[in-house]
Amino acid sequence: MKQLSTKVTSNGHGQDSSYFLGWEEYEKNPYDEIKNPNGMIQMGLAENQLCFDLIESWLAKNPDAASLKRKGQSIFKELALFQDYHGMPEFKKAMAEFMEEIRGNRVTFDPKKIVLAAGSTSANETLMFCLAEPGDAFLLPTPYYPGFDRDLKWRTGAEIVPIHCSSSNGFQITESALQQAYQQAHKLGLKVKGVLVTNPSNPLGTALTRRELNLLVDFITSKNIHLISDEIYSGTMFGFEQFISVMDVLKDKKLENTEVSKRVHVVYSLSKDLGLPGFRVGAIYSNDDMIVSAATKMSSFGLVSSQTQYLLSALLSDKKFTSQYLEENQKRLKSRQKRLVSGLESAGITCLRSNAGLFCWVDMRHLLDTNTFEAELDLWKKIVYNVKLNISPGSSCHCTEPGWFRVCFANMSEDTLDLALKRLKTFVESTDCGRMISRSSHERLKSLRKKTVSNWVFRVSWSDRVPDER
């Protein structure tokens, strides 16, 4: 019998996670308003479908870009022939300027320090190959995106050590949590090579504060390790405050062009902000020339097609369009998030107050039979199989507290979202505890709104997130 590699025979991919199993169940019975109105509604997919009309309108007004023409003349042959792995200079320039625009043009990105990749999955894995040997560890704050178990570990052999965060302070990162994770890694005999964060957070739907970012930069400076800031949701901020990038913090601390800046790396993608995951466009930004060189060579295994680069360089170079798009995208995300939160409240369910992303971090702890992850999975199964909603349980995101779920809101129509919320409310009211909750939920939520400092379930001040003094 032919021997196969352990990559084939092991379960390192993590496909048996409830995160992926929910997707499999959805694919067996997908909801369709006409063809399958009783099917499962996909609320486990962080996809931005709210602004396709804006992009399609731009394409209609700029036919050359989609038709692979320049000033009316076909450049099909030019794009179809071999392109090296450095990427098109005009596209990297457009990407750099778009990233600057999202950050209020407070910081700059050198196109020469951008490495293109086939999405953020490829970008993050490439950084792991550049920064870690098999068996080395990266610290990640919990809860984190379930796909990181695949993206960061499966092929690289790297390990993840969790930075345990809790609802007691809104899941924010603390110095003690960082130190405990670092010490735990050493107890396990693992060499810590860095910290990886998503900012804004997936699955929390909140942006890191300046205090947290300062803490992270100080921590990696003291430990002489790396920091990867995955900022693929940076253009989805819909609160009153601006997105703060790790690049802002480096500038404020006067750490630009220092050895510390060489250990800070940014990952970006057009999958979330523009809603183009199928285009497979990701990027690494690093101030370390050796990493840029090595990652560029590795990008041969996951290139962005020339046609895609040509089309998107034209779109991103249209500053009037990008400005209008970012503004309208944020308005629509805010409106849709409010719709979800309102519907959840009507069912007696609260969530972490979010200011970014395509999802909410929903608190269903009161619906658990017991305060265990077994009870969480039992509730999840009821919601998947009976209510026919695919949501992601907190345990799949390595949350330390049972009863939290990630619920997406931007990958469906308003009517579909309303139907999903109606189904969920019916389910809650049908449960033994639901009948009690439905009677008291209105007064409880009314009381919460009256508080000058909200309970941490609703996440307070965006500037510093000071916890409730109770």
Element (H, E) at 353: none
Catalytic option among 136, 149, 151, 230? 230
- pLDDT category of residue 84 using cuts at 50, 70 and 90: confident
Active site residue 383: no
pLDDT in tens, 310-339: 999 999 999 999 999 999 999 999 999 999
Whole-prediction pTM: 0.90
What are the extents of the domains in the chain? 4-49+330-425, 51-320
User: Does domain 51-320 fall into CATH 3.40.50.410?
Assistant: no
Distance CA 415, CA 323 (A): 28
279 exposed, middle or buried (CB, 10 Å; 0-12, 13-18, 19+)?
buried
Distance CA 223, CA 205 (A): 28
Catalytic option among 232, 284, 349, 391? 232
Residue 405 sits at φ, ψ, to 5 deg, of -140, 145
Catalytic option among 26, 144, 145, 310? 145
Active site residue 334: no
Q: Side chain identity at 30, as an amino acid letter?
A: P
pLDDT above 90 for 8: no
The share of the chain scoring above pLDDT 90, in percent, equals 77
Q: Are domains 4-49+330-425 and 51-320 of this chain identical in fold? A: no
Distance CA 358, CA 48 (A): 7
Nearest to 316 by CA among 137, 96, 117: 96
pLDDT above 90 for 83: no
More confident site: 191 or 74 = 191
Q: Are 46 and 358 in contact (CB under 8 A)?
A: yes
pLDDT in tens, 277-294: 989 999 999 999 999 999
Topology given in CATH for the domain delimited by 4-49+330-425: Aspartate Aminotransferase, domain 1 (3.90.1150)
- Helix, strand and coil content of the chain, in percent to the nearest 5, comes to 50, 15, 40
Active site residue 230: yes
Catalytic option among 113, 272, 388, 425? 272
